[in-house]
Chains A and B, each alone.
Chain A
């Protein structure tokens, strides 16, 4: 454990209430982020990547999801032992904040932007004049007009910028970005990503970037954790991972991308089947059913998450041959 890690997550387990009983949807997830670094969490929908992000800021849907096990350290301090009041006062907004997938759902539609901004700034005991400054930093020079308008008067890209500006109110050291560009247009997407990179470089923030798109992860993150069925199955430097994926799931995801190298109208390789529903996650390797290289061992025994090199990890009995 090095001391310059902003965040360390150890053995995080989250349970979800389904039909009267709890199922573990995030299982034994561990990762860490150094200061100023950005990591990606990648996976298909239903893999628990959003829940992992939400649990860091305690915004899990209560009582349907709860953290049952695991330790979270923020700058060495045990975050999991912190009381709710202290968490709200000291941690949220000030140390870490989150931006969500759909800006229109995350911003109250019947309250003017200015008032919502004021609420956030009051929490962090900052002056309201800071709002204009933050908006300008996020590429909205026309601060007065923005603060005086309702969310529906702004375009999708602008709302996303407002949300990013708000998240910066308390000068956080950690930003959790949960698919921040899924709901925006392709051209706006590039702008938002550039903005995030710019802010990160300026403030030295750490970013956890949650996405299902390799293109975004490649642009944004140095490290990537691939999640499947609630577990991290592979961790690797992004460039390495794209060059030489070792887990069959990662390879499948990379191969099914549309890139300029794929001939038009040719048959795309795809992973057969879909992510199984939570009730059907079984004991062995969770990718067993969709994997082309599975053997009986995969069904019975769960592959441990083994550290292969410096920071790389892999959970597979029969990794892709180099």
Chain B
């Protein structure tokens, strides 16, 4: 294992038991995270794309250990975090921070901005009172807020300012890894650009690695080096961002669909394979897919290029270009017909 791997995840699984159908049947379980493996390289941002209910947020919560996994291991800087002692645990908590989707809900409304930002320092007993306030002031400056906001409560701030406070809070302890769950989806377009700029600036300055979760490939394209496309608890495609967006190297039909959804003004899925509206409405609910009971490919019901083979066996994640890729996370795809996918997407001709 090379030393520039920051995080490695092995066979990570998390399941939730569902309500019993009757008293005598054992409860079913849904698998929002189903045997996930990946590596994260230092300073290479990882994007996780998928739709709501696919389990991508659960995955992020497990990586940051807000929730515990049922099976599998997480290695942070080469150390298995389940075998850490108390000191190692505290270090891990300090090094991995989380930015939540909705700054309206993730910031305590009863605390002032200063109290919010100083809390992590107090927990970790860093510096005396004076140094703490100095650090808060520096951080506010760093994220582009004026010192006046220190005594304000979160309801007195705008959405963009609140997200800046949330970012500042995550960065107070100088983390190595920041997990951002839909960091800009609750914000206006012009503010979105400001926040993305800020996050990238801070990465250069402070040497942070990001894991960004989003359903919007436009955001991920801008932000990430590596991408994981996530569908119903499974990774369906791992790729380098620039490979995916050159559109010639798309290998999974779901990636093509997401890509078209994000850039529908400039790309289109060719008409004859487009999923019809009637069919789309008959898709099984995501929860049923998470049961992982269907023998075939999870994406079968929505796939424009499905075949009989897809209904019978679930394709495994196969590495595709181990030799040519310099990154420790080579491209991989879980599809029986990856060669057909490229034909799906075409660039719209502009007048």
Contacts and interface: CB of A to CB of B under 8 A. Distances in A.
Contacts of A81: none
Interface in B253-290: 257-258, 260-267, 277-278, 280-282, 285-286
Given A253-B189, A258-B219, A258-B222, A142 B51 contact: no
Given A190-B260, A259-B266, A265-B200, A185 B51 contact: yes
Interface of B: 51-52, 158-161, 188-194, 196-197, 200, 215-219, 221-223, 241-242, 245, 257-258, 260-267, 277-278, 280-282, 285-286, 351
B190 A270 contact: yes
Contact of A190 (B196, B218, B264): B264
A102 interface: no
A186 B200 contact: no
B52 A158 contact: no
Interface of A: 44-45, 139-142, 155-158, 161, 185-191, 194-195, 198, 212-215, 218-219, 239, 252-253, 256-260, 262, 264-265, 267-271, 274-275
Nearest to A213: B189
Given A219-B265, A264-B242, A194 B194 contact: no
A256 B189 contact: yes
A213 B261 CA distance: 13
A141 B265 contact: no
Contacts of A44: 188-191
Contacts, number: 109
A156 B52 contact: yes
B261 A141 contact: no
Contact of A141 (B51, B245, B282): B282
A139 B258 CA distance: 21
B265 A186 contact: no
A187 B274 CA distance: 12
Nearest to A158: B281
**By DSSP majority rule, is chain B's interface helix, strand, loop, or mixed?**
helix
A188 B54 CA distance: 14
Nearest to A252: B190
22 contacts: A45-B188, A141-B282, A156-B52, A185-B52, A186-B51, A190-B261, A194-B277, A256-B189, A256-B190, A257-B189, A258-B192, A258-B219, A258-B222, A260-B263, A260-B266, A264-B223, A267-B197, A268-B197, A271-B190, A274-B160, A274-B161, A275-B188
A274 B241 CA distance: 31
A239 B1 CA distance: 52
A256 B221 CA distance: 15
A239 B351 CA distance: 10
B15 to A, nearest CB: 21
Nearest to A182: B185
A7 B281 CA distance: 33
Contacts of A214: 189
Given A186-B262, A268-B222, A141 B278 contact: yes
Given A253-B190, A259-B266, A268-B222, A142 B282 contact: yes
A191 B302 CA distance: 13
B158 A274 contact: yes
Contact of B193 (A213, A218, A219, A270): A270
Contact of A139 (B158, B265, B266, B280): B280
A153 to B, nearest CB: 9
Contacts of B223: 264-265
A212 B192 CA distance: 12
A146 to B, nearest CB: 9
Given A264-B241, A268-B197, A274-B191, A258 B265 contact: no
B193 A139 contact: no
B81 to A, nearest CB: 30
B193 A191 contact: no
Given A139-B277, A258-B193, 5 more contacts: A140-B281, A187-B257, A256-B192, A259-B265, A270-B193
A267 B194 CA distance: 9
Contact of A195 (B196, B215, B263, B277): B277
Contacts of A155: 285-286
A44 to B, nearest CB: 4
